[in-house]
């Protein structure tokens, strides 16, 4: 069982130690643009709590944190103006999932046809 790494890049963004292109923030979540966008729009949504990945979050987070995290996806999609045309939400989990940053995040891809479901 892995423990949360407080020095991961998203923890540093949450502490304000490094900047981000912020889209939205509330008491529970932060959303910002991915630094290396894979599609015309590539946003990230992260919980403020220390959760390694979606599995860790689902097991440990409060119902309120889980609800707020999910609601934030739709709020951010609205702010990005992509609700009607659609978008893709993706979360990589662990080594086989291809996760690079060990703080839970949803990717939001939008702004063009996203294409093949899995590369
Ligand atoms: P994953 O492979 O699911 O862990 O995705 C990590 C994502 O974080 C990648 O899409 C990176 O481009 C993105 N990323 C890494 N560092 C930063 C940063 N400082 N600001 C914004 N996005 C970042």
Per-residue pLDDT tens, the chain, 119 aa: give them: 689 999 999 999 999 999 999 999 999 999 999 999 999 999 999 999 999 999 999 999 999 999 999 999 999 999 999 999 999 999 999 999 999 999 999 999 999 999 999 98
| Cα–ligand 1 centroid distance for 34 (angstroms) | 6
Token couple for 62? 């409060």
The radius of gyration of the chain from alpha carbons, rounded to an integer in Å, stands at: 14
Q: Is 99 in the pocket of ligand 1 (CB under 6 A)?
A: yes
- Please report the DSSP string for 53-79 in residue order: SHHHHHHHS-HHHHHHHHHHHHHHHHH
Structure tokens given for 75: 């709020």
Q: Which two tokens stand for residue 110?
A: 């939008």
- What does pTM read for this prediction? 0.98
State if residue 92 touches ligand 1 by the CB under 6 angstroms criterion.
Answer: yes
Task: Return the residue matching tokens 């893709």.
Answer: 88
């Amino acid at each position: 069982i892995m423990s949360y790494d407080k020095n991961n890049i998203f923890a540093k963004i949450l502490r304000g130690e490094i900047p981000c292109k912020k889209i939205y923030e509330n008491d529970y979540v932060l959303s910002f643009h991915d630094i290396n966008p894979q599609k015309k729009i590539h946003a990230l949504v992260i919980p403020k709590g220390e959760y390694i990945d979606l599995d860790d979050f689902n097991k440990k987070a409060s119902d309120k944190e889980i609800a707020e995290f999910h609601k934030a996806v739709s709020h951010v999609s609205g702010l990005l103006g992509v609700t009607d045309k659609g978008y893709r939400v993706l979360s990589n989990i662990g080594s086989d999932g291809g996760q690079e940053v060990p703080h839970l995040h949803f990717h939001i891809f939008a702004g063009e046809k996203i294409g093949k479901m899995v590369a």
